[in-house]
Structure 1
Amino acid sequence: MPIGLCNAPGTFQRCMMVILHDMIEKTMEVFMDDFLVFRDSFSSCLSHLDTMLQRCEDTNLILNEEKCHFMVKEGIFLGHKISKNGLEVDRAKVDVIAKLPHPNTVKGVRSFLGHAGFYRQFTQDFSKIARPMTHLLGKETPFVFSKDCIDAFETLKKKLTEAPILVVSD
C-alpha cells in the first residue's frame, strides 16, 4: 500500500500485528515500524530476537540496519526511555519543554499542552494543574495569560524535569 493514503498507517500496523501476532506483548512490542524485543535474560532475549528476525525474513520484511539497535540495556522507544528500572521521560524532549517561554497565543498554549501532555502519566494531577491554560482554549474565551496560567505553566515544566520512573508491575 502506498504511503500517503489515508488508511495506509492503519493497514500497515494491522499487517505488522498479523505477522508478529504470537510474539506481541509476550516477547516484543510493535508500533508501526518500531519493534522492541525484550526478555529477562540475555540468552532468552537473543532467542526471541532470532525468532523475530526469522519471521521478518520469512515475510520479506526488510530492516534498516542503520536504525537497528541490538542488545541494549536502555533505549528510546516511542518517545520514552526504557531501561531495567522502568519507563522514564526522554530527557532531550523534556529539556526542550523546560526551556520554552510561556505561550503568547492560543496556538502556543495548545502546542505546549500537547507536548507536555505526552508525558502526563508522569505528572500527578496533570489536568488539575493545566486547568487555567485549558480554559484559554475555549471558543469565546479572551486570551489573557494570567498569573494562574504562568504558575500552571511553570509547575508543569518543573514536574516534567523531576518526573519519576514508572516501574513495570509484576
Structure 2
Amino acid sequence: MAVNKKIYYIAGAALLILLLMKGNKALAAVTKNQKIRDCDPFGCGNFGASRGSRKHQGIDLVVSPGQDIFSPITGKVTRIAYPYASDLSYKGLEIVNEQYRVKIFYINPTVAIPSVVTAGQKIAEAQNIAAKYGSTMTNHVHFEVRNALNQVIDPTNLF
C-alpha cells in the first residue's frame, strides 16, 4: 500500500512539473504554424544562419501572405520599422516591455504607435516577401528578440 502511494505522489509531482514547464514559455506564438523557414536559395531561417559577412539575428517563420500575425509579448508598440530604406512598402513593428524588445518584419501592421498590445493579440498580417525576391524564396516573417540590456537573444526555444 505504501509503495502505491509513493508512485501516485511521484506521478503527481511529475505531472505538475510538466504543466508548470509547458505554461512557463516566455513568448506567445507569432504565427499559427510557428515553423522556422528551411534553407532556400536566399539563405536559411534559423538563428545565427550566415548572411554573408554577418549572422542572422532572428528567426524566419513560414507564413502565407495575408496570414494573421500575433504579438509574442504584452507591451507597447514603439515604432513602425522599415527593413529596406529603398523600399518602404515592406514594414515591421517593434514592441517593448520590461523584459524584451521584439521586432517583426514583412508585415502590414493592424495596430498603431503607441498601442499597448497583449500576448496573443493579432497585430498584423503577413506580407508577400517572395514578391520582392522571387518565387524561390519561402514567404516568411522575420522575428528577433533583444533582452532588457539590448542584447540579441535566440528566440528559438522561447515559445
TM over 0.5: no
Decide which structure has greater helix share: 1
When normalised by structure 2's length, the TM-score is 0.27
Decide which structure has greater strand share: 2
When normalised by structure 1's length, the TM-score is 0.25
Higher relative contact order structure (alpha carbons within 8 Å, sequence separation ≥ 6): 2
**Structure having the higher Rg:** 1
